[in-house]
Amino acid sequence: MAEIVRVYIDGKECLAQNGEYLLQAARENGIYIPTLCHYEGVKPKGSCRICTCKVNGRLMTACTTPIAEGMVVENNTAEINEMRKAIIELFFVEGNHFCPTCEKSGDCELQALAYKYQITAPRYPFLFPTKRVVAEYSRIIIDHNRCVLCKRCVRAIKDAEGRSFFAYRRRGQHIEVILDKRMSEQMDYEKALEAEKVCPVGAIMARRIAFTTPVGHRKYDKKPIGSDVEKIK
Amino acid sequence: MAEKKIIATTSLAGCFGCHMSLLDIDERMLDLIEVVEFNKSPINDIKKFTRKCDIGLIEGGCCNSENVHVLKLFRESCKILVAVGECAIMGGLPAMRNGIPLKECIDEAYLNGITVHANVNKTVPNDPELPVLLDKVYPCSAVVKIDYSIPGCPPHADLLWATLYALVTGKETEIPYEVFKYD
């Protein structure tokens, strides 16, 4: 049986299994650590950095940090929240995030995080990069304007043999997500919906379906992101 | 009673939706005019600034030379400048043309678009009176200093009300989660 250890998150004593990731341990104890690239059930990557906490005085990503006895964690502090806000703002200026026209608006995790921190406008200048909208696949449309490169689609959407439907191509600022041409032929409607769901933003959209939920009933219209975690106490 | 705050508003590259949303504060408009007076604004049709204003509300981003001119005028004439709505904050829907070269946009609109029928002479508007289009649509903060921003497309009437109330009274206000939206 796994050993139970004690960690302190913002001064609150939390019990969790030794070796568990800090993010999971916090959520089990009703403490929400915001995430974007993390997806339940998929190996964490730690690429978006939003879950960064101060662990024993050092900045660590909660999704990739295993807990250990006596860990002192700062999560919901002014310093950490300010840093998280800055990261969210960088996402907004780096892409072309036109919320009013986006099919994912209201269900978008990036937008929900911005709502949580009540970001009125980014402090950085908008870059307006030129990005492609790829509509060559039969089941999905990939809008690179909205992609935040979390790699959730690459990591989570696989066929029965464990092969990824999606992949990265190019490097650096030219990096983008592509759907494998041959794999795209075997992508069915359910898989397309799954891919849309896995995408935290509106970069992957299943074809022939959009705006199904009326305004006011969407995921983050009434309740902030993470409120379901904070309820467990 | 304290002196009334002077408010000016304008719509640059916007759709007037934010001004409509301001009217959506409904009967609170009566409370508002008790404490504020409108100067240059499409609401009262005052075309020119007649005095220095306390608060300037800007709807829309900058897509042409006239927008830039008006925005700079507002910065000079208003103590506090507020970007209202997504267009003023980040360019909004007009900024969706930013990934397309300007010439391509104009050609599509006046020459090659499938709905272009009446333009038999194949001309593009070029009257010297017309403002010159900018290469891109710019957020207001790229042109002048913006003091506050109210997001939304349009911003919720309650959010506009809360912000105006806070600016006029000088008291900090809590923004409910439901009214703070980007769409």
Which residues contact residue A50 at a Cβ distance below 8 angstroms, ignoring those fewer than 6 apart? A34, A35, A36, A37, A84, A87, A88, A113
The answer to whether the Cβ–Cβ distance between A100 and B153 falls below 8 Å is: yes
Closest CA to B7 of B21, B44, B18, B30: B44
Q: What is the mean pLDDT of chain B?
A: 94
* Per-residue model confidence as pLDDT tens digits over A73-122: 999 999 999 999 999 999 999 999 999 999 999 999 999 999 999 999 99
Q: What is residue A233's predicted lDDT score, i.e. its pLDDT?
A: 56
Are residues B102 and B178 in contact, defined by beta-carbon separation less than 8 angstroms?
no
Confidence of residue A232 (pLDDT cuts 50, 70, 90): low
Are residues B74 and B150 in contact, defined by beta-carbon separation less than 8 angstroms?
no
Residues B122-141, mean pLDDT to the nearest whole number: 95
Rounded to the nearest angstrom, the minimum Cα separation between B50 and chain A is: 30
The answer to whether the Cβ–Cβ distance between B141 and A121 falls below 8 Å is: yes
d(CA A22, CA B35): 51
The answer to whether the Cβ–Cβ distance between B92 and A100 falls below 8 Å is: yes
Residue A227's closest chain B neighbor by CA?
A: B177
Give the alpha-carbon dihedral of A108, A110, A116, A119, to 10 degrees.
-120
DSSP assignment string, A51-75 = TEEEETTEEEETTT-B--TT-EEE-
Interface test with B, best of A91, A101, A120, A145 (most B CBs within 10 A): A120
User: CB distance from A105 to chain B under 8 Å?
Assistant: yes
Closest CA to A194 of A231, A159, A230: A159
DSSP assignment string, A79-109 = HHHHHHHHHHHHHHHHTT--GGG-TTTTT-H
* Predicted ipTM beyond 0.90: yes
User: CB distance from B172 to chain A under 8 Å?
Assistant: no
Rounded to the nearest angstrom, the minimum Cα separation between A145 and chain B is: 10
d(CA A230, CA A31): 6
Give the alpha-carbon dihedral of B107, B112, B118, B123, to 10 degrees.
30
Which residues contact residue A96 at a Cβ distance below 8 angstroms, ignoring those fewer than 6 apart? A128, A129, A131, A145, A146, B95, B96, B98, B99
Angle between helices B157-169 and B28-35 (to 10 degrees): 20
Cis-peptide, bond into residue B154, ω within 30° of zero: yes
Length of chain A (residues): 233
- Asked whether residue B67 is assigned to any structural domain, the reply reads yes
- Asked whether residue B80 is assigned to any structural domain, the reply reads yes
- Asked whether residue B125 is assigned to any structural domain, the reply reads no
- Asked whether residue B115 is assigned to any structural domain, the reply reads no
Residues A200-214, mean pLDDT to the nearest whole number: 94
Closest CA to B9 of B180, B167, B136, B142: B167
d(CA A7, CA A60): 15
Number of domains in chain B: 1
- Asked whether residue B124 is assigned to any structural domain, the reply reads no
d(CA B108, CA B89): 27
Rounded to the nearest angstrom, the minimum Cα separation between A73 and chain B is: 27
* Per-residue model confidence as pLDDT tens digits over A109-124: 999 999 999 999 999 9
- Asked whether residue B126 is assigned to any structural domain, the reply reads no
Q: What is residue A173's predicted lDDT score, i.e. its pLDDT?
A: 86
User: At A143, which amino acid appears?
Assistant: D
Q: What is residue A2's predicted lDDT score, i.e. its pLDDT?
A: 76
Beta bridge partners of A6: A15
Which residues contact residue B114 at a Cβ distance below 8 angstroms, ignoring those fewer than 6 apart? none
The answer to whether the Cβ–Cβ distance between B151 and A121 falls below 8 Å is: yes
Residues A184-191, mean pLDDT to the nearest whole number: 93
Confidence of residue A1 (pLDDT cuts 50, 70, 90): low
User: At A94, which amino acid appears?
Assistant: E
Closest CA to B52 of B73, B32, B31: B73
Q: What is residue B1's predicted lDDT score, i.e. its pLDDT?
A: 56
Rounded to the nearest angstrom, the minimum Cα separation between A98 and chain B is: 6
* CATH class, A4-76 region: alpha beta
The answer to whether the Cβ–Cβ distance between B151 and A120 falls below 8 Å is: yes
* Per-residue model confidence as pLDDT tens digits over B150-179: 999 999 999 999 999 999 999 999 999 999
- Asked whether residue B109 is assigned to any structural domain, the reply reads no
* Per-residue model confidence as pLDDT tens digits over A32-78: 999 999 999 999 999 999 999 999 999 999 999 999 999 999 999 99
Confidence of residue B3 (pLDDT cuts 50, 70, 90): confident
Taking one residue from A and the other from B, the number of pairs with CB-CB distance under 8 angstroms is 70
| B161 to A227, B75, B168: CA distances (angstroms) | 26, 22, 10
User: CB distance from B89 to chain A under 8 Å?
Assistant: yes
Closest CA to B92 of A128, A219, A141: A128
* Per-residue model confidence as pLDDT tens digits over A133-155: 999 999 999 999 999 999 999 99
- Asked whether residue B129 is assigned to any structural domain, the reply reads no
Residue range of the domain that includes B149: 5-94+136-179
The percent of residues above 70 in pLDDT, for chain B, comes to: 99
Q: What are residue B8's phi and psi, to 5 degrees?
A: -125, 145
The answer to whether the Cβ–Cβ distance between B146 and A99 falls below 8 Å is: no
Neighbour tally for A74: CB within 10 Å: 17
Q: What is residue A221's predicted lDDT score, i.e. its pLDDT?
A: 95
Half-sphere exposure of A64 (CA within 13 A, CB side): 13
Are residues B129 and B61 in contact, defined by beta-carbon separation less than 8 angstroms?
no
The percent of residues above 90 in pLDDT, for chain B, comes to: 93
What CATH number has the domain bearing residue B49?
Answer: 3.40.50.700
The CA-to-CA distance between both ends of chain B, in Å, stands at 38
The percent of residues above 70 in pLDDT, for chain A, comes to: 99
Question: Which sign does the torsion angle of CA B58, B62, B63, B65 carry?
Answer: positive
* Per-residue model confidence as pLDDT tens digits over B55-114: 999 999 999 999 999 999 999 999 999 999 999 999 999 999 999 999 999 999 999 999
User: CB distance from A126 to chain B under 8 Å?
Assistant: yes
Which residues contact residue B76 at a Cβ distance below 8 angstroms, ignoring those fewer than 6 apart? none
> Tokens representing A162?
């464990």
Q: What is residue A86's predicted lDDT score, i.e. its pLDDT?
A: 97
Residues of chain A with C-beta less than 8 angstroms from the C-beta of B60: none
User: CB distance from B180 to chain A under 8 Å?
Assistant: yes
